Structure 1
């Protein structure tokens, strides 16, 4: 039997439209079970920094939703938003950028977004911090610094923090990664001496890098919104459409549930 999970906040429940349908409890439970039990695939476009926790969320969700497969497509938030705008298939979108999500909302491509997690930037260095990096200003003197590209929110966050701190890194000493994962990889692989990446990516890298937290990071918190993509259904029967819609909305609800939030916290994400 499909078990509906409580949402972490009332706002998330309202935004998803759960818990407000008519009819008897028995009838609703039966119809939900029948619809969700049908084999269906939920396609999720998730920011690169969400790849690992969303893989874990997908596996846990599948355990309690027989017949439902969750497929994760990860990449830079800006690129994912552009793909959805161009018609790429997606049922759910979870980004590291409120502005990219707002672009989709204004275009009526998603339902009302809800913030489900937070993150912040840290400096990563080669193991043991051989350059003795202690803060943002030290990035002016180390060899090569890796920063996220323009299509990834971590790039915008990094430049905002550097500009606010008055730190000017010569362009010739900057290497650019597509997203936070690739940017961290430049340090882990020895191609850069330091990088500005998400705390969660630094944590996932383990001993491959050393992390340096700096006080300015608390002034710029990355908020992660999630939303259901509203593109009309095609090539589905009425029955399969109902099953698919139910699975999509239950997955989004699961992300905001107590169990979903615990998985995100285990990967270093903060609460919404």
Structure 2
């Protein structure tokens, strides 16, 4: 570029000495035009060089992205295959758990149905409207609690005639459930008692339980279904701090034990299976 410029200047000097002024002016204008064209071409060349470099950089970046996408696609196909397999296994496991839960719910429903039927029968037969007779259910077991005044005279273990009418209803229910066991529990208040053959509240509670058991035997209840138990004063309903509370604690409780072991065993088995994931 410098050589061309020097040659141009030299030529201009030489020409200026041998050409006319007008010719010199024309040559000078042409030189300036050539110089402008050269400058413009130089700017365009530099711009093209920059564009080429930028395009080359973009092409390299795109090639890297294509390579990354191909690698990602390969990995995605592998993951998709594994994911499909895992999803299939998860769905199968969920189906198994749903089946176990369904079976568990069926077992609980059957157990609850048996208990509900028993409670309904007892309420109807015993007469739940009597405030001195309470029917409750705890963990699938039905309890009939009969106030002491309905069964025995004060400090006595002989069953009253009024009690026989109540126990006749209980006997009817027990006889209708030959697969059930019937445990009779005697409960006293905390006041110490001793008279004749009775040494303490243990004796009194047991004698009252056996008196009820014998009465049920007379009512044709199968003796193999009956259990006599005395609890003395150690399972009170309320504190023995008033005469009214003492009267509540003096009671005979008849426990109906349905033989539904198959339902309980099924529930326990299914619960263990759910915990272990089987």
Note whether the superposition's TM-score is higher than 0.5.
Answer: no
Which protein is richer in helix relative to its size? 2
Structure with the larger RCO, 1 or 2 (CA within 8 Å, 6+ apart):
1
Return the index of the structure with the highest Cα Rg: 2
Give the TM-score of the pair, scaled to structure 1: 0.25
Normalized per residue, which structure has more strand? 1
Taking structure 2 as the reference length, the TM-score comes to 0.25
